[in-house]
Structures are given as C-alpha cells and as structure tokens.
Amino acid sequence: MEENKVGLAPRVMAQGATGPKEYGLLVTDRRTIFVLELKSNAAIGGILGGAIGAVIASATDTRTSINYELADPGLLATMKGSVAIPHESLEHMRFKPGFGANKLQVKYRTSEGKTKKMEVMLTPPIDYVKERKAQGKKGKEAMADYMNDVQNLFRKALPLSASMKVEWSR
C-alpha cells in the first residue's frame, strides 16, 4: 500500500552521546520518521578542549542534506540514525512548552514490543526565526509559532485513534 508524505518539520533537535543531533521530522499518513541529518561531535571537542578541539569536532560532524520531495519514506526510515514510529505504535505524544525550548515527547512501542521514549526540542530553523523577527516577533514567539506549526502537521497527519493519544499544547 502506498505511503503518502503529509508534511515535514525541517528541524528538531535531540541530545546525543557525542553532541546534539538534528533531525528532519517527516510525517506520513502511516508513520512519523525522524531522519538524522546532523550528528555533531561537539562533546568530543569539549573533551579535547580549545580551538583545536572545536575544529576536530566540527570536522567529524556528519551532515546529510535530504531532498524530501524526492525521497521515498521507506528508504528514509531505513537510513542510519533514522527513527520510524508507525502511528498505530504510538502510546503517547506530548507537546511541552519550555523556558529554553519547546519539546516534543513521544512514547511508542517498538516492533519487539518494548516501550521507548524519545524527546526532541522543537528548535526552528534559523531562516524561520529570521522571518518571524522581520515581522516584529520575538524569538520566543517564533518558537511558539513553530510548535504550533508542528502540532498542526500532526493534527493533519494522525488518524483519530493516534490523535487521541496526543497531549496538545494550547
């Protein structure tokens, strides 16, 4: 059965063991796919210390720029670092406003039957924030707008059975 892409939140971030991870959040009519786009090794740079550490860390960062218009969701879901969560596996989703950053918390059941949690920060892309600031909005308002946009994306994509498990932010 064909899987239809509904929408993309271009940037969400999570904290990894070696530094921040940046994902593209693709939502289809069947699942939510966190596509790993940037894996930073900033923590290694911190251990090494100084400018040299920073240079080495940034040199070992791995960035993948995805053409989501062309990309097949099935392939994106199997890419290294990707996390794919079928809508029927969703146990709980929460949009949580925060002081530093708004968060998206997802609790889901894996194919092995285990329950897993994932938490990402809804950090808007720089261009998005610049655009909002040009409209006279503050940074925090831009962050709130972005969370609303992401919420609307899920409202459109999730079936009713999954939508009922979402704790929306007002």
Task: Point out which residues bind another protein (CB under 8 A).
Answer: 4-11, 28-29, 63-72, 75-76, 79, 124-128, 131, 146, 149-150, 152-153, 156-161
CB of 110 to another protein, least distance (A): 22
* DSSP code string of 31-57: EEEEEEEEE--HHHHHHH-HHHHHHHH
Terminal Cα distance for the chain, rounded:
35
Name which of 50 and 139 has its Cβ closer to another protein: 139
CB of 123 to another protein, least distance (A): 11
Name which of 27 and 83 has its Cβ closer to another protein: 27
C-alpha torsion sign, points 130, 136, 140, 141: negative
Name which of 51 and 126 has its Cβ closer to another protein: 126
Name which of 17 and 126 has its Cβ closer to another protein: 126
Q: How far is CA 102 from the centre of its chain?
A: 12
What residues contact residue 111 under an 8 Å CB cut-off, 6+ apart? Answer: 89
CB of 34 to another protein, least distance (A): 15
